[in-house]
Amino acid sequence: MSAPVIELQQVTKRYDDGPPAVDGITLTVRPGEAVAVLGPSGSGKSTLLNLIAGLDRPTDGSVTVDGVRVDRLGETGAARYRRARIGMVFQFFNLLDDLTVADNVMLPAQLSGMPRNAARARAAELLETLGVDRHARAYPGRLSGGERQRVAVARALINRPALLLADEPTGALDTASGEDVRQLLSELNEDGQTIVLVTHDLTLAASCATRTVSLVDGRIAQDQPAAATR
Ligand code: ADP
Ligand code: MG
């Protein structure tokens, strides 16, 4: 079997004195899986994603992603790790409003040292694939929510990440745009992209996940293959 993309061993994250936000989670994600992390508000979903992204450090346990011991990285190493191996998509897009769509998408490639022309060509190709190439020279503020999220996905993919992480990617979208983004994530996974997404959106989980992991109080309460309806 191919090496896992994510391997969490007994991962715990405590903030202050309260109960742990993530409590002894062990989880393996293999290449090509699309895992939907479900659970009530406060169950530790975002914390789990942040630990995988190296945005946060576990109090205990190990986080290995694409062969990298993420829990051992310092700040610079973690930033480099994210740029090279992770694509991230957020609820509110997090695009830079004073850069054009194309420049937003190119930015992570340029920060990784890709020559400007190569980055521009790859950005153009992604924007076309994602159906937003006609907006390449526009500023994100001119786009609809669904279009902005497509641009955010293009930016997340530009460095060909081993793992795409998404935290409530349809959370701020109207029904039609939400459907667009569901379709897009599902197509990316069908093309082999490994995805972990956190969501309250059961339609999203049902349409694009190959597996659902439900958290309760920072622990895995349920871990099952997605329904055969996909
Ligand atoms: P979810 O994304 O499932 O809603 P979170 O991972 O955001 O849950 O939060 C899990 C728990 O950890 C909650 O009790 C939350 O209050 C707490 N928590 C999250 N981030 C922090 C933080 N930076 N400082 C203190 N407590 C936090
Ligand atoms: Mg959250």
pLDDT digits (tens, 9 = 90+) for 60-102: 999 999 999 999 999 999 999 999 999 999 988 999 999 999 9
Q: For the chain, give every domain's residue range.
A: 6-229
41 lines ligand 1 (CB under 6 A): yes
Place of tokens 């190959």: 210
Q: Identify the pLDDT of residue 201.
A: 83
- Residues 103-122: pLDDT tens digits? 999 999 999 999 999 999 99
- Cβ atoms of 157 and 87 closer than 8 Å: yes
Give the model's confidence band at 228: pLDDT under 50 very low, under 70 low, under 90 confident, else very high.
very low
Report CA(96)–ligand 2 centroid distance (Å).
Answer: 22
**CA-nearest residue, atom 18 of ligand 1:** 21
Q: What pLDDT does residue 177 have?
A: 86
User: Which residue's alpha carbon is at the smallest distance from atom 7 of ligand 1?
Assistant: 46
Average of per-residue pLDDT across 140-160: 94
Q: pTM of the predicted model, to two decimals?
A: 0.93
- Give 118 Cα–ligand 2 centroid separation in angstroms: 35
The H or E element containing residue 177 is helix 175-190
Of all ligands present, the nearest one to the C-alpha of 57 is 1
pLDDT of 210 reads 95
Strand order in the sheet with 86-89: 86-89, 163-167, 195-198, 34-38, 211-216, 219-225
CA 103, CA 98: separation in Å to the nearest integer?
10
Residue 44 Cβ contacting ligand 1 at under 6 Å? yes
19 lines ligand 1 (CB under 6 A): no
| CB of 197 closer than 8 Å to CB of 45 | no
Tokens representing residue 200 in the block: 């309250």
Q: Which residues are registered as beta bridge partners of 13?
A: 22
Q: Which CATH number fits domain 6-229: 3.40.50.970, 3.40.50.300, 3.55.50.30, 2.60.260.20?
A: 3.40.50.300
- Ligand 2: distance of its center to the CA of 93 in Å? 15
- The yes-or-no verdict on residue 187 having pLDDT over 80 is yes
Residue nearest to atom 15 of ligand 1 (CA): 42
Q: Which residue has the tokens 């020279």?
A: 137
What integer pLDDT is reported at residue 166 of this predicted model? 95
Give yes or no for residue 230 having a pLDDT over 90.
no
**CB neighbours of 73 closer than 8 A, spacing ≥ 6?**
54, 81
Closest CA to ligand 1's atom 17: 21
Confidence of residue 1 (pLDDT cuts 50, 70, 90): low
